[in-house]
Amino acid sequence: MSVRRPYILLNYALSLDGKLSTEQRDPVRFTSRIDRGLMDEIRADADAVLIGAGTLRAEDPPVRIKAVRRRNERMRKDKSPHPVSVILSRSMRLPRTGRFWEDDQVERIIATTQQAKDEQVRPFRDLAEVVRAGQTTVDLHEFCRMLADRGIGRLLVEGGGEVNMAFWEAGLVDEVYMTLCPVVIGGRNAPTAADGRGFAIDRFRTLRLIESRRVGQELFLRYRAVRSKP
Ligand X SMILES: NC(=O)c1ccc[n+]([C@@H]2O[C@H](COP(=O)([O-])OP(=O)(O)OC[C@H]3O[C@@H](n4cnc5c(N)ncnc54)[C@H](OP(=O)(O)O)[C@@H]3O)[C@@H](O)[C@H]2O)c1
Which residue ranges make up the site for ligand X (CB under 6 A)? 12-13, 20-21, 25, 27, 51-55, 58-59, 88-91, 93, 137-138, 140, 158-163, 166, 191, 195
Q: Which of 114, 109, 57 is nearest to 82 (CA)?
A: 109
Strand order across the 48-52 sheet = 129-132, 108-112, 84-88, 48-52, 154-157, 7-15, 175-181, 218-227, 206-215
Q: Closest distance between ligand X and the C-beta of residue 94, in Å?
A: 7
Q: Closest distance between ligand X and the C-beta of residue 178, in Å?
A: 9
Instruction: Kindly tell me which of 83 and 159 has the beta carbon lying closer to ligand X.
Output: 159
Q: What is the distance between the alpha carbons of residues 212 and 81, in angstroms, rounded to a whole number?
A: 29
Instruction: Kindly tell me which of 59 and 218 has the beta carbon lying closer to ligand X.
Output: 59
Instruction: Kindly tell me which of 74 and 89 has the beta carbon lying closer to ligand X.
Output: 89
Instruction: Kindly tell me which of 58 and 225 has the beta carbon lying closer to ligand X.
Output: 58
Phi-psi region of 134 (alpha: psi -120 to 50; beta: other; left: phi over 0): left
Q: Closest distance between ligand X and the C-beta of residue 89, in Å?
A: 3
Report DSSP state, residue 19: B
Residue 42, helix vs strand vs coil: helix
Residue 23, number of CB atoms within 10 A of its CB: 13
Q: What is the distance between the alpha carbons of residues 73 and 81, in angstroms, rounded to a whole number?
A: 8
Query: Residue number with the shortest CB distance to ligand X?
Result: 160
Q: Closest distance between ligand X and the C-beta of residue 43, in Å?
A: 13
Instruction: Kindly tell me which of 158 and 175 has the beta carbon lying closer to ligand X.
Output: 158
Residue 23 C-beta-side C-alpha neighbours within 13 Å? 4
Q: Closest distance between ligand X and the C-beta of residue 90, in Å?
A: 3
Q: Closest distance between ligand X and the C-beta of residue 112, in Å?
A: 7
Q: How long is the chain?
A: 230
Instruction: Kindly tell me which of 23 and 211 has the beta carbon lying closer to ligand X.
Output: 23
